[in-house]
Amino acid sequence: MSAPIEIADGVYCVGVKDWNVRNFHGYTTARGTSYNSYLLLDEKTVLVDTVKSGFAGELLENVSAVVAPSKIDLVISNHAEPDHSGSLPAVMAAAPRAAVVATARGKDALERYYAGAWRFNVVKTGDEVETGKRTLRFIATPMLHWPDSMFTYSPDDRLLFSMDAFGQHLAASGYFERDAAPGVVMDEAKKYYANILMHLGGQVAKALRELEGLAVETIAPAHGLVWRERAGEIIEMYRGWAEGKRAAKVLVVYDTMWGSTGAMAQAIADGAARSGVDVRLIALAVNDLTDIATEVLDAGAVAVGSPTLNNRMMPNVAAFLTYVGGLKPRGKIGAAFGSHGWRGGGAKEVDEALENTSIERVREPLTCVYAPDAGVLDSCRALGASLAEGALSRSAE
Ligand code: FEO
């Protein structure tokens, strides 16, 4: 890294970029990611978050370009997940006089991970730490997305250190959202929200309420780029996602064995498209779950198709439904469909999984034997039209 970038007076980016990581505990990071760490120079020297284990040397080198690591007085751990705390042992070894600032749950997690005999300053919402000309304020954000999580707010800089929230898995040569190609930063922020936070809308809404009344001009997340010109926009996007806002969009997600379920999927998509809604026909064989979950976030309707294999749904359909089920998408309608041979079962399993995911099914599973005839294809088109109508009405809510 060249000289660390200053994002506010005396606040430096000292984190690292992980350009080539492509799998982040199952999340496909097509554009890599960054582990952001911020150094605040004041009467006290403060480090906000560290970086993933393996990057400690680079972090300490970046800190050293600004100040000797031994001068660090406080290491704020906004979030104990190892992508942000993995270098804490190395930092604490280099900064022997430092105390770790964390929530009680954060202290517990860090002690369990690292067994470090460190001094802790345990904080909760409303607690403050004076660092000289600044007073840093802490806002606990439990389950956003771990129990330990918190924001650190600097009123003097109008700056929010937001840990994972508002983050993007994105490695870029710049540091601010304006440094990314148009659309890229918001696409990655949406993908991040969908795959990490979709099931936590209530906690996200609570955190947004905590921010009301605070002057926030800059948001410095723990991944990706710093929000400045678009800080208000990303807060509004989070508000909409947390409320479960949906577009007039229909997804048709399927796998196929000999083309029959694929033909049904195509007919459902055709039926939906005639209503003028946004339709996505998504073959599980060639699409990535991370991208599909992003599409699910703001879809109004989701049809899911599987042929029957050994009286069950196809394994990749099960994987999709397990993954999306955990993300608990809200307020969607859907339906199961699929072909089978001598004995069914696949579409029925899909239907049960949709029910367990609280997706309101608009009809019983739509099935056919071996291959769809003209009547079945007509029924598929009618299902598509029905899903489109539901998605349209939900987009207006
Ligand atoms: Fe980026 Fe939840 O860690």
Return the pLDDT at 9: 96
Nearest alpha carbon to residue 391 among 350, 335, 326: 335
Contact 310, 356 (CB under 8 A): no
Instruction: State the pLDDT at residue 396.
Output: 87
- The pLDDT of 344-368, averaged and rounded, is 97
In angstroms, rounded to a whole number, what is the distance separating the alpha carbons of residues 324 and 394? 20
Cβ proximity of 339 and 368 under 8 Å:
yes
Q: What is the pLDDT of residues 101-120, one digit of tens each?
A: 999 999 999 999 998 889 99
pLDDT of residue 397: 84
pLDDT of residue 238 exceeding 90, the answer is yes
Give the amino acid at 343: R
Q: Which residue has the tokens 């601010």?
A: 176
pLDDT band at 2 (very low <50, low <70, confident <90, very high): low
83: Cβ below 6 Å to ligand 1?
yes
Residue 139: strand, helix, or coil: strand
At 143-158, the pLDDT tens digits run 999 999 999 999 999 9
Indicate if ligand 1 lies below 6 Å from the C-beta of 107: no
Interstrand relation of 99-102 and 72-76 (parallel, antiparallel or unpaired): parallel
Does residue 219 surpass a pLDDT of 60? yes
Residue 25 bears catalytic tag: yes
Q: What is the pLDDT of residue 181?
A: 86
Answer whether residue 362 shows pLDDT above 60: yes
Q: What is the pLDDT of residues 261-312, one digit of tens each?
A: 999 999 999 999 999 999 999 999 999 999 999 999 999 999 999 999 999 9
Q: What percent of the chain has pLDDT over 90?
A: 97
What phi and psi values does residue 369 have, to the nearest 5 degrees?
A: -100, 120
Contacts of residue 374, defined as CB under 8 A and 6 or more positions apart, other chains included, come to: none
Does the CB atom of residue 84 touch ligand 1 within 6 A?
Answer: yes
Mean pLDDT of the chain: 97
d(CA 13, CA 138): 20
Q: What is the mean pLDDT of residues 318-331?
A: 97
Tell me the per-residue pLDDT of 335-347, one tens digit each, with 9 for 90 and over.
999 999 999 999 9
Contacts of 212 (CB under 8 A, 6+ apart): none
pLDDT at 365 over 60: yes
Which single residue is written with the structure tokens 């393996």? 54
Q: Which amino acid is at 211?
A: L
Instruction: Report residue 122 as tokens.
Output: 């345990």
Helix (H), strand (E) at residue 339: strand 333-340
Which amino acid type is present at position 378? D
Confidence band of 373 (pLDDT split at 50, 70, 90):
very high
Residue given tokens 């680079």 in the structure block: 58
Angle between helices 346-356 and 315-327 (to 10 degrees): 10
Q: Name the active-site residue from 35, 153, 175, 192.
A: 192
Classified as helix, coil or strand, 19 is coil
pLDDT value at residue 182: 78
pLDDT tens digit string along 65-90? 999 999 999 999 999 999 999 999 99
* Catalytic residue, candidates 84, 169, 223, 340: 223
Give pLDDT, residue 1.
55
Query: Is 164 an annotated catalytic residue?
Result: yes
